[in-house]
């Protein structure tokens, strides 16, 4: 039997990938998971997963953790600014261990994107293509769940702040993107391919505000701001300055289409339409 490994298995996306693999009737015993924390390891082990202890930053342990693995899903690290050396460690460990294939969760339109996260993803893609391993790049768009972070404030103030003008966004839920990862990890014919993955349904921030208004019965307006002013508003709300700068910049450059794609590649991969933002909002507001 093919042996799979999912990195970042305790994260939000990683857990959903494990669910998606289970739905494909892949036995838990055929799935290895890379885990950093002992408490998480115990929980996953109790479910029958092959738990491998390791950390993206600990190069020495990764090759041993990947022993016997044929197909590996590298979920990009969460430490912005540290991702490249961490990902390089994973790629080197995979090659040393004899892994045959890597699927990597990259960024939508990574090689041309002006979003600040892009360079680390591009560097990782280049390292993977240069490794000689078979690969698939899953260029994930923004998670639909990202837009829920400000929902309580929007409902309280009746305003949604941003710096995107009338830019179009086409996010996808983590569950839909996790399903795509499971498809390429377990399927055939995906080697050497790059998939631009976005939701089927697009919206502007004004549309988003209107949807919240429709669901809540409250008046909600979109308030557009210059990038610098939006950054200041985010830091004033308690976000760290680097994150505020990243989010405000992503809004500002979104007008050029970096968070929009209408190819419907994702829905073709998973075999059904992606989840609309209205359904995401309904679920969030029902809780």
Please answer whether residues 8 and 14 qualify as being in contact, where contact means their C-beta atoms are separated by less than 8 angstroms: yes
User: Per-residue pLDDT for 280 more than 80?
Assistant: yes
Number of Cβ within 10 Å of residue 218's Cβ equals 12
Query: pLDDT tier at 183 (50, 70, 90 boundaries)?
Result: very high
For the chain, the maximum distance between any two Cα atoms, rounded to a whole number of angstroms, is 58
What CA–CA distances, in Å, run from 125 to 134, 177, 206? 12, 18, 34
Query: pLDDT tier at 176 (50, 70, 90 boundaries)?
Result: very high
* φ/ψ (deg, to 5) at 135: -155, 165
Instruction: Give 87-129 pLDDT, tens digit per residue.
Output: 999 999 999 999 999 999 999 999 999 998 999 999 999 999 9
Query: pTM of the predicted model, to two decimals?
Result: 0.95
- Residue 1: its pLDDT value, please? 67
Instruction: Give 34-63 pLDDT, tens digit per residue.
Output: 998 888 888 899 999 999 999 898 888 899
pLDDT higher at 1 or 133 = 133
Q: What percent of the chain is modeled with pLDDT above 90?
A: 84
């Amino acid at each position: 039997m093919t042996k799979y490994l999912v990195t970042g298995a305790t994260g939000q996306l990683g857990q959903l990938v494990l669910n998606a693999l289970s739905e494909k009737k892949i036995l838990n015993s055929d799935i290895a998971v890379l885990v950093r924390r002992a408490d998480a390891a115990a929980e996953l082990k109790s479910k029958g997963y092959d738990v491998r202890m390791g950390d993206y930053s600990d190069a020495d342990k990764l090759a041993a953790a990947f022993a016997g693995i044929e197909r590996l899903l590298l979920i990009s690290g969460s430490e912005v600014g540290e991702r490249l050396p961490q990902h390089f460690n994973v790629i080197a460990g995979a090659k040393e261990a004899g892994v045959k294939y890597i699927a990597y969760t990259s960024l939508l339109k990574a090689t041309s994107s002006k979003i600040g996260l892009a360079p680390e993803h591009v560097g990782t893609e280049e390292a993977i293509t240069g490794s000689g391993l078979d690969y698939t790049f899953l260029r994930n768009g923004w998670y639909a769940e990202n837009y829920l972070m400000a929902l309580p404030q929007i409902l309280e103030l009746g305003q949604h702040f941003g710096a995107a003008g009338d830019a179009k966004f086409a996010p996808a839920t983590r569950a839909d993107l996790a399903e795509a990862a499971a498809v390429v990890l377990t399927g055939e014919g995906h080697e050497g391919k790059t998939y631009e993955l976005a939701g089927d349904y697009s919206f502007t921030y004004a549309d988003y505000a209107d949807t919240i208004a429709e669901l809540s019965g409250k008046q909600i307006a979109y308030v557009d701001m210059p990038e610098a002013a939006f950054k200041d508003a985010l830091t004033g709300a308690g976000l760290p300055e680097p994150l505020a700068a990243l989010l405000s910049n992503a809004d500002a450059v979104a007008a050029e289409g970096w968070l929009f794609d209408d190819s419907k590649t994702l829905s073709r991969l998973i075999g059904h339409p992606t989840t609309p933002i209205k359904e995401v909002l309904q679920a969030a507001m029902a809780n």
